[in-house]
Amino acid sequence: MAEAAASGFRNTRLVLVAMVLAVAFVVLLNVQRFVEARRRQRGQVAVVLVKADLAAGQVLDETNVEPIAVPRAVAERARGLYPYGDLELGVTRVHRTVARNDLLRVTDMQQSLAVEHALARRMGPGRRAISFEVDRSPGSAHVRPGARVDLYGAVLIPGQQPATQLIIENLDVLSVDGQTDPDLVRPTFRSIEVHVPAALVAQLKEVQRRVDGKLTVAVRAPGDTWMAYPHDAAHPEQGGTIAQPVLESLARQLPPAYRGGAQALDDR
């Protein structure tokens, strides 16, 4: 009887020891996992992933941005990624257009008078800077500040089906999505800023109202300033001229109920 009791006591003690060892193993495993997680966290940085297309001036909130962790080394190589911790959701605004699935950059958040000064230096007397929303395509991905471009689109003309045609030619690009540094232009840009003769601004606004869809950018060869419809033949390098067929179509009134396209053309 005494031997049986002693044997039972030893078995109970072994069970207790096994339970203690099991608990210690679980605790040690959790500690290791915690240490590994902290080690990984120290090697990562939370940056801003854009969930929806952003327009310049738009407020950032949970509906259009979210944090994403990237390795610190990747963030350092990318240079200029905006830290998620610096955002004040519902207050912070973006100052350039940014496409969905892009990572937000510091330059997207900067509003500097230097941009305005850069534009002013590039424009001659009697010129105005205006913005066009464009349909980015593989060809237009090469657009950079200083490039010469033509704009094509389908213009609504009463009594005719919209057909793609040259709208305005020989434009000097001042900025792309507000960015004047060619090296910082995103391939996902959505607008270009150009300068045109001040006398054409009102007509261009009317053209913009009649455009069916976004405009297509055609990049010119360097030094190509030839124009089919020159506004000032003596100074083709200034560029910015409306194609004559489009200009003539403005005399044909649109239906009163027509509200125009969704695009906006801003002048400064």
Q: Is residue 231 part of a domain?
A: yes
Average pLDDT value for residue range 124-129: 80
Q: pLDDT tier at 65 (50, 70, 90 boundaries)?
A: very high
Q: Are residues 64 and 119 in the same domain?
A: no
CATH code assigned at 58: 3.90.1210
Domain edge (last residue) among 109, 141, 159: 109
Q: Are residues 182 and 154 in the same domain?
A: yes
Q: Is residue 198 part of a domain?
A: yes
Q: Are residues 222 and 199 in the same domain?
A: yes
Residue 131 pairs in a beta bridge with 193
Q: Are residues 142 and 87 in the same domain?
A: no
Between these two residues, 253 and 87, which has the higher pLDDT value?
Answer: 87
Share of the chain above pLDDT 70, in %: 69
- 150-163 confidence digits (pLDDT tens): 999 888 877 778 78
Q: pLDDT tier at 265 (50, 70, 90 boundaries)?
A: very low
Q: pLDDT tier at 61 (50, 70, 90 boundaries)?
A: very high
Which range, 142-146, 166-170, 254-258, is most confident? Answer: 166-170
DSSP secondary structure string for all residues of 23-66 = HHHHHHHHHHHHHHHHHHHHTEEEEEEE-S-B-TTPBP-TTTEE
Q: Are residues 5 and 95 in the same domain?
A: no
Average pLDDT value for residue range 74-90: 80
Query: What's the mean pLDDT when you consider all of the chain?
Result: 75
Between these two residues, 266 and 228, which has the higher pLDDT value?
Answer: 228
Output the pLDDT for position 161.
Answer: 80
Instruction: Say whether pLDDT at 54 is over 70.
Output: yes
Per the structure, the count of domains in the chain is 3
Residue matched to tokens 């045609």? 165
End-to-end CA distance of the chain: 104
Query: d(Cα 105, Cα 103) in Å, to the nearest integer?
Result: 6
Q: Are residues 187 and 129 in the same domain?
A: yes
- 8-50 confidence digits (pLDDT tens): 556 677 667 667 666 666 666 665 565 445 544 557 888 999 9
Q: pLDDT tier at 66 (50, 70, 90 boundaries)?
A: very high
Q: Is residue 254 part of a domain?
A: no
- 193-212 confidence digits (pLDDT tens): 888 888 888 888 888 888 88
Q: Is residue 189 part of a domain?
A: yes
For residue 36, give its domain range. 1-42
Q: Are residues 26 and 85 in the same domain?
A: no
Q: Are residues 146 and 170 in the same domain?
A: yes
Query: d(Cα 6, Cα 4) in Å, to the nearest integer?
Result: 5
Q: Are residues 162 and 211 in the same domain?
A: yes
Q: Are residues 142 and 54 in the same domain?
A: no
Between these two residues, 59 and 114, which has the higher pLDDT value?
Answer: 59
Q: Are residues 143 and 181 in the same domain?
A: yes
Average pLDDT value for residue range 64-72: 89
